Amino acid sequence: MATNEEIIGRSGVDDLEAILAIANTDVDEAIHTVADNADAIFTWDYAKGARPALNKLYEKAKHSQWNGETDLPWDTDVDVEQLARDMGGNPQIQRFRQDAASVAGSPFRHFGEDDWTKLLIEGQNWRLSQFMHGEQGALLCTAKIVETVPWIDAKYYASTQVMDEARHVEVFSKYLDMKLTGHYPINAHLKMLLDDIIADSRWDMTYLGMQIMVEGLALAAFGFMHMLTEDPLLKKLLRYVMSDEARHVAFGVLSLKEYYGELSHAELRERQEFAFEAAVRMRDRFLQQEVWERMGIDSRPIIRSMLAVPPAENLFQQMLFSKIVPNCRKLGLLDASDGWLRHRFEELGVIQFEHWTDTGEEYADLDEVAKDREATAS
């Protein structure tokens, strides 16, 4: 049985010093190399439709392609300060404001409205930057799935996702550079997770790490941002990206459900541990160390207060896992090994989402691209 030290590199999930010890030490790095350790698999079985659910997803993907250059209103004027204030409804920001007024020694005690606006602007840039970096991770991972998965229906679908992910990197990069004020380097916790996913030689681990965990969290986060923002360009960009992401997560659910039914107890336990590691890395990523550094604020008391929020009260963190938990349940990962992953998700305070709709069933409802085209045609 693996220990926390073996899974996440520390005994305590909330060990502040261990979390802060993971930092991006080369922010000027332009090229980053990871050995993917995988065999390229050809299949000479070209029988399309052997897995009908994947074939249906592939057909859906072909009809739902969009062009980031021409299908988004790039001529929209973006008010950067107003865009940032839209995110002021984030419960985390509200908590910081309350601390500034009531907690002695709060790092925010001297903040005026200009400081809060600057914090919101930096937070927005940081958040969209990490999504952009994550989308490049998805681009590489999906290309690897095309290379390593043995089923032709999965190769066909994954090839459409490669195009999707390239488009996502493109539109986030363009929005950050044209409408905001540039982007942040990749967060060290996100970088560590992407490296782990790419380095694993097993094709199903690429699926689990990217399609279920990273993409599942992104889908929930995009929905949260879409709800808060009033910028029509960002709103439409997020709607279109969410349409793609829902298919991507469904691809992982549909593929792994079949494969995990054949795995041994020990093999499933290894997948549970990997899912837990990914969940912790993604939680740590949202502590946004880089923003506090850029604002000239000591990150320790802020991150300590963020980690101290009881899981039941941390609505923002909970909602980010609202897609991951039901998908892990559908894959049988929650209750394998005497409910090991269930207990870990209980500790993170996110288990209540287990009976929410899994993405294997809801992707068609999120296809905003198709809805827009139907509306235009009528």
240 has pLDDT over 80: yes
Residue 359: per-residue pLDDT: 66
Q: How far is CA 58 from CA 154, 247, 251, in A?
A: 8, 9, 9
242 has pLDDT over 80: yes
Residue 65: per-residue pLDDT: 94
Q: Give the pLDDT band (50/70/90) at residue 182.
A: confident
Average pLDDT over residues 75-94: 85
Q: Which of 184, 86, 61 is nearest to 133 (CA)?
A: 184
Locate all alpha helices (DSSP H) within the chain, ordered by sequence.
4-8, 16-20, 52-63, 80-86, 91-102, 113-148, 152-178, 188-199, 203-206, 215-228, 232-260, 265-285, 289-294, 299-308, 315-320, 324-330, 336-348, 359-362, 368-377
Q: Which of 189, 225, 186, 228 is nearest to 32 (CA)?
A: 186
For 250-274, the pLDDT digits (tens) are: 999 999 999 999 999 999 999 999 9
Distance from C-alpha of 197 to C-alpha of 206, rounded to nearest angstrom: 6
Average pLDDT over residues 106-116: 89
Distance from C-alpha of 95 to C-alpha of 283, rounded to nearest angstrom: 18
Contact 113, 223 (CB under 8 A): no
Residues 6+ apart with CB under 8 A from 248: 138, 142, 161, 164, 211, 215
Which residue shows structure tokens 């991972």?
Answer: 141
Containing 11, the helix (H) or strand (E) segment is: none
pTM: 0.92
Contact 373, 63 (CB under 8 A): no
Distance from C-alpha of 85 to C-alpha of 76, rounded to nearest angstrom: 18
Which residue shows structure tokens 């604020």?
Answer: 297
370 has pLDDT over 80: no
Percent of the chain at pLDDT exceeding 90? 65
Average pLDDT over residues 202-218: 94
Residue 329: per-residue pLDDT: 93
For 185-201, the pLDDT digits (tens) are: 999 999 999 999 999 99
Distance from C-alpha of 21 to C-alpha of 307, rounded to nearest angstrom: 16
Average pLDDT over residues 310-332: 82
Residue 97: per-residue pLDDT: 87
For the chain, give every domain's residue range: 188-373
Q: Give the pLDDT band (50/70/90) at residue 39.
A: very high
Distance from C-alpha of 46 to C-alpha of 1, rounded to nearest angstrom: 41
